[in-house]
Structure 1
Amino acid sequence: MDDDRTSGANPLRRRADRTRTHLHAVFAVGCLIAVICGIAIGRDAWTDSGRAAEALTRHRHVVTATAVGGTSHRTGPGANERPVVVAPVTWQYPADRRHAETVPVPAGTRRGDTIRVWVDDRGDAATAPPAAADLAVQAFGLGAMAATGITLLTGALVRVGIRVVDARSARAWESEWEDVEPRWTGRLRPGPGADDG
């Protein structure tokens, strides 16, 4: 029998019921751990990317460049990237070094217009340091992915556990019903010599 009674326990509450309750509690704890891990991973990602952005910012400078030609469109390396407006521009950085490159510019830029260009320590065109909003989105995404992964894994393990408990419980009910059914229905189970006349 699967009743596993103890003093003061509900006699209708079976071991399988208690196991299901424990598995649900495990899932709740797993969700809490997932949230804590997600927050920790997101915070670490925010801190690390913030430090990297600060280090990069120390080597990025904004200079004023002058457009020396008309604009055109350039496609990005990816197939789904939208084309960007570019134009040939010149600038000086450091003060004794002149640069001429084709860089992204605002739409409608004309020859002689001035634009702001990010450059590195040598004065070559470079990408802008990442914005705080971009870093926050990235950190949130990593934390959310970690929390989701842990929650899904915990949920899958608990689901498997509940299926195992349900299968065992069903087998136990069948076994117990075989013992109870003849008395319940009033039919005697045939035994040795029952058909002897």
Structure 2
Amino acid sequence: MTTHHPRRRHDSVRRACDRCQSRLCACLLVLLVLALATVPFLAGEAAYAAESRVAARQSAARHRVTAHAVTDAQGVSAASGVRWAPVRWTDGRGGSHTGFTEVPGDIVKGGAVEVWVDGSGRLVKPPTTRQEALSTGWFTGVMAAVAVLLVHLGARTALIAAIDRRRYEQWAAEWRVVEPLWSKRLPT
């Protein structure tokens, strides 16, 4: 047969500020768990949705055309083998355009290259892809999680510093009372 001891309400060794610190740190931990479960997801989803809208607008406003190199590729080849060259293309209305763009490193004068143009026939970057939108969403979600963790750590550090300041003030006040009795000196 086991005997049941009633739960003590207060630990006689722990001060009120110690109990307060434990409770507040536990609350901060619960808030951290809730924030980590929601904030990164919401931030990532919002970033993905925004990038998806941009991709849809860009896809509607840009199209690919075949251009021809005006000269051989120029410049130092990057690790990807891409160089720069002037290119010429014709838009849908028969207008001729010229621009300077990245081309494969082995392109020669007259060689065909695919380029992206906007409605006015200017060279533009390719539209944002679904994969780029997804990457932006994931990156934003991870950065939101890091931000939540940093806010938690900052709040916890500030809380503990404030409680420690109060705790040290209490200890100093108690020491002013106890120290004369302990050292056999008279209080001043």
Q: How many residues align structurally?
A: 176
> What does residue range 141-180 of structure 1 map to in structure 2 within 5 Å?
141-177=139-175, 179=177
* Cα displacement string for residues 30-50 of structure 1 (whole angstroms, at most 9, x for unaligned residues): 423542222211210110110
Asked which structure has the greater CA Rg, the reply is 1
The verdict on how the C-alpha distance between 1:65 and 1:119 changes in structure 2, with shifts beyond 3 A counting, is same
CA RMSD of aligned residues (A): 2.9
Q: In 1, Cα distance between the equivalents of 2:187 and 2:119?
A: 97
Percent identity of paired positions between Structure 1 and Structure 2: 28
The verdict on how the C-alpha distance between 1:65 and 1:191 changes in structure 2, with shifts beyond 3 A counting, is closer
SS in 1 for 2:68: strand
Using the size of structure 2 for normalisation, the TM-score is 0.76
- 1:120: Cα distance to partner? 1.5
- 1:23: Cα distance to partner? 2.9
SS in 1 for 2:124: coil
Using the size of structure 1 for normalisation, the TM-score is 0.73
Matched residue, 1:3 = none
- Kindly indicate whether the alpha-carbon contact (under 8 Å) linking 1:34 and 1:146 is maintained by their aligned counterparts in 2: no
SS in 2 for 1:18: helix
Q: In 2, Cα distance between the equivalents of 1:8 and 1:25?
A: 18
Matched residue, 2:53 = 51
Aligned residue type for 1:124: R
Matched residue, 1:12 = 13
Q: In 1, Cα distance between the equivalents of 2:172 and 2:161?
A: 17
Matched residue, 1:71 = 73
Q: In 1, Cα distance between the equivalents of 2:13 and 2:21?
A: 15
* Cα displacement string for residues 40-77 of structure 1 (whole angstroms, at most 9, x for unaligned residues): 11210110110111111011111122223122239xxx
Matched residue, 2:42 = 40
SS in 1 for 2:186: coil
SS in 1 for 2:126: coil
* Cα displacement string for residues 87-144 of structure 1 (whole angstroms, at most 9, x for unaligned residues): 2222222052332322211111111221111111233322101223332333333333
* Cα displacement string for residues 159-189 of structure 1 (whole angstroms, at most 9, x for unaligned residues): 1221221222233234445555677x5x655
Consecutive unaligned residues in structure 1, runs of 5 or more: 1-5, 75-83, 193-197
